[in-house]
Amino acid sequence: MKKPLLIVDSHLDLAFNGVQLKRDLTAPVAIVRAHDPEPLARSFGSCTVTFPELRKGGVGLVFGTVMTRIDPNDAWTATGMYAQSQCHGIGIGHLAYYQALAREGILRFIGNAEELDRHLADWEQNGRTAPIGLVLAMESADSILGPEQVGEWYEAGLRMVGISHYGVSSYAHGTGTEGGLLPRAKPLLAALRSHRIILDLTHLTDLAFWEALEAFDGPVAASHHNCRALVAGQRQLSDEMIRAIVERGGVIGVALDAWMLDPQWQREVPACDQVAHVTLQAVADHLDHIAQLVGNARHCGIGSDLDGGYGQEQAPRDLDTIADLQKLVGILEKRGCSPSDIRNIFSGNWIRSLKEAWKRSQ
Spatial distance between the Cα atoms of 51 and 17, rounded to a whole number of angstroms: 12
Name which residue leads in pLDDT, 288 or 2. Answer: 288
Look at the pTM and tell me if it is higher than 0.85: yes
Judge contact between 99 and 122, C-beta under 8 A.
no
Angle at 204 between CA 202 and CA 207, to 5 degrees: 140
3-state secondary structure the chain: CCCCCCEEEEEECHHHHHHHCCCCCCCCHHHHHHHCCHHHHHHHCCCCCCHHHHHHCCEEEEEEEEECEECCCCCCCCCEECCHHHHHHHHHHHHHHHHHHHHCCCEEECCCHHHHHHHHHHHHHHCCCCCEEEEEEEECHHHCCCHHHHHHHHHHCEEEEECCCECECCCEEEECCCCCECCCHHHHHHHHHHCCCEEECCCECHHHHHHHHHHCCCCEEECCCCECCCCCCCCCECHHHHHHHHHCCCCEEECCCHHHCCCCCCCCCCHHHCCCCCCHHHHHHHHHHHHHHHCCCCCEEECCCCCCCCCHHHCCCCCCCHHHHHHHHHHHHHCCCCHHHHHHHHHHHHHHHHHHHHHHHC
Amino acid symbol at 99: Q
Spatial distance between the Cα atoms of 321 and 332, rounded to a whole number of angstroms: 19
The partner residues of 254 in beta bridges, in order of sequence, read: 302
Query: In the structure, what pLDDT confidence band is assigned to residue 59 with cuts at 50, 70 and 90?
Result: very high
Report the pLDDT averaged over residues 277-306: 97
What pLDDT does 270 receive? Answer: 86
Residue 154 has pLDDT above 90, yes or no: yes
Spatial distance between the Cα atoms of 160 and 81, rounded to a whole number of angstroms: 22
Q: Could you give all domains of the chain from N- to C-terminal order, each with its CATH number?
A: 7-361 (3.20.20.140)
What mean pLDDT value characterizes the chain? 95
Name which residue leads in pLDDT, 344 or 361. Answer: 344
Residue 127 has pLDDT above 90, yes or no: no
> What percentage of the chain carries pLDDT values higher than 70?
98
Amino acid symbol at 131: P
Residue 1 has pLDDT above 80, yes or no: no
Write out pLDDT tens, residues 301-333.
Answer: 999 999 999 999 999 999 999 999 999 999 999
Residue 275 has pLDDT above 90, yes or no: no
Residue 362 has pLDDT above 90, yes or no: no
Judge contact between 80 and 105, C-beta under 8 A.
no
Judge contact between 358 and 112, C-beta under 8 A.
yes
Which residues have C-beta within 8 Å of that of residue 233, sequence separation ≥ 6?
A: 260
Q: 197 φ, ψ to 5°?
A: -80, 135
For 18, 63, 100, 207, the CA distances from 106, given in Å and listed in that order, are 13, 15, 9, 40
What pLDDT does 274 receive? Answer: 87
Query: In the structure, what pLDDT confidence band is assigned to residue 268 with cuts at 50, 70 and 90?
Result: confident
Residue 139 has pLDDT above 60, yes or no: yes
By the 10 Å C-beta count (0-12 exposed, 13-18 middle, 19+ buried), 153 is classed as: buried
Report the pLDDT averaged over residues 255-269: 93
What pLDDT does 182 receive? Answer: 98
Residue 361 has pLDDT above 70, yes or no: no
